[in-house]
Amino acid sequence: GDSVTQTEGPVTVSESESLIINCTYSATSIAYPNLFWYVRYPGEGLQLLLKVITAGQKGSSRGFEATYNKETTSFHLQKASVQESDSAVYYCALADSGGSNAKLTFGKGTKLSVKS
């Protein structure tokens, strides 16, 4: 089946430092899955942070970026300068199709703490 592996947490970085959370995937149900990063802030549900549906493309949102690399089957999340408000749990995920019936496969989540 499909699987997603991401950086084990917790991860602690200082404000204004750079961040990378690694994500690699294995997709057996579809050759080029849609890839996602979700974020869960304390007390909230998961929110879509960014998604990329085309291999080789980069997605970006709120200062975060991730590039869909089909050669290395990776989708690492990066930010040049984190803020305390970025403290949250980040989930990498893939979808087995592009439609509304897509089922998501998630990584275990990476808890990020940003210290001031």
Residue type, 15: E
> Residues 46, 49, 66, 77: which binds other proteins (CB under 8 A)?
46
Give Cα separations from 50 to 22, 60, 66, 80 (angstroms): 15, 6, 8, 16
Q: Does 59 bind other proteins (CB under 8 A)?
A: no
Contacts (CB under 8 A) with other proteins, residues 1-20: 1, 4
Question: Which residues are 82's β-sheet partners?
Answer: none
Q: Does 25 bind other proteins (CB under 8 A)?
A: no
Residue type, 28: T
Pick the piece of the chain touching other proteins (CB under 8 A) from 24-32, 42-50, 57-65, 66-74. Answer: 42-50
Q: How far is the CB of 114 from other proteins (least distance, A)?
A: 22
Reported as half-sphere exposure (CB side, CA atoms, 13 A), residue 76 has a value of 9
Q: Does 30 bind other proteins (CB under 8 A)?
A: no
